[in-house]
Amino acid sequence: MRILKSLLTLTVALVVGSFSSQLMAHLHDTESLTIGTRAPALNIEHWVNDGQAKFQPVKDFETGKVYIVEFWATWCGPCVAAMPHIAELQDKYATKGVQVVSVSDEDLETVESFLMQKVPGKDDQTYAQLTKNYCLTTDPDQSVYADYMEASGEAGIPTAFIIGKQGMIEWIGHPMEIDQPLAQIVNDQWDRDEFLEQLAEQKRATQVIQMGMQKVMGKLQSGDSKGAVEVLDGLIAEQEDGPAKIEFKMIRIQLLLKEGGETAATAFTEFANENKDQPLMLNQ
């Protein structure tokens, strides 16, 4: 899922025909923040919620405590959808030394206005009430975003970082996938080496995707969308089941949907059926 999320911006750009140098450069980004590196200090401008005075603003991470630093935005539907779960996690682990710090890069007025809105289907509950038990912040100068998201090569939100008891980055991923690693980190059962092996496998898949996308981009840049779909058909046939195959299928669907028609509808339906037990995949 991290691969799908990190390449989502690139995929959308391909579909609409935008090939900016910034996105092309993203293919060659070097990560300077990863699992096992020390977490950068937080230089956050505005602490909007403080967990009803249970938490103090954090700059440096305290030894023995676990922190979740999560990046979100008011315009990001999946970020907003994750808020109830994040609130539940903070309640569950508040007495076990866990502090959630949720960081937007929007201006304070935008965030405060959003927090006054009602949560759909929750009677008169506002987003301010929903998120009151954890630290919700905003950092308009994007310094924290640069230190974490850009430094780790992450391109999509929501993204959460777990900082362990020694101040090191232990896990990076979607906040809806955080439960198991968080429990293991809190209970000193986390296998960092095993997670690093998983990341290495994801990196190999990413390299396959990048090489394949260069072929697809060549077709799209020349205006040959049909040829791009044919390239994707070949790439899909070459791959064993896994992240690369899923990514190529998703991009193929995006291209077909742009053209419309029965072929697009069939491809979309087949993919939805294949992933009917993967709600995060379907949401993406």
The confidence score (pLDDT) of residue 278 equals: 74
Per-residue confidence band for 240, with pLDDT thresholds at 50, 70 and 90: confident
109 has pLDDT over 90: yes
Which structure tokens are listed for 252? 């193929």
Q: What is the mean pLDDT of residues 101-121?
A: 96
Q: What percent of the chain has pLDDT over 70?
A: 88
68-87: per-residue pLDDT in tens? 999 999 999 999 999 999 99
38-48: per-residue pLDDT in tens? 999 999 999 99
- End-to-end alpha carbon distance in the chain: 9
CB 70 within 8 A of CB 86: yes
pTM of the predicted model as reported, rounded to 2 decimal places: 0.70
**Neighbour-count burial of 8, counting CB atoms closer than 10 A to its CB (0-12 exposed, 13-18 middle, 19+ buried):** middle
Per-residue confidence band for 32, with pLDDT thresholds at 50, 70 and 90: confident
The confidence score (pLDDT) of residue 126 equals: 96
Lookup result for tokens 């809190």: 186
Q: In 3D, which of 198, 193, 197 has the Cα closest to residue 177?
A: 198
Q: What is the mean pLDDT of residues 123-150?
A: 95
The confidence score (pLDDT) of residue 37 equals: 94
281 has pLDDT over 90: no
Per-residue confidence band for 199, with pLDDT thresholds at 50, 70 and 90: confident
- 19-33, 51-65, 175-189, 228-242: least confidently modelled range: 19-33
Phi, psi (deg, nearest 5) at residue 201: -65, -40
Q: What is the mean pLDDT of residues 108-113?
A: 97
The overall average pLDDT reported for the chain is 86
206 has pLDDT over 80: yes
The confidence score (pLDDT) of residue 284 equals: 66
The confidence score (pLDDT) of residue 60 equals: 95
232 has pLDDT over 70: yes
Task: Please give the residue that has the higher pLDDT: either 23 or 105.
Answer: 105
207-225: per-residue pLDDT in tens? 888 899 999 999 999 989 8
Q: What is the mean pLDDT of residues 174-197?
A: 94
161-178: per-residue pLDDT in tens? 999 999 999 999 999 999
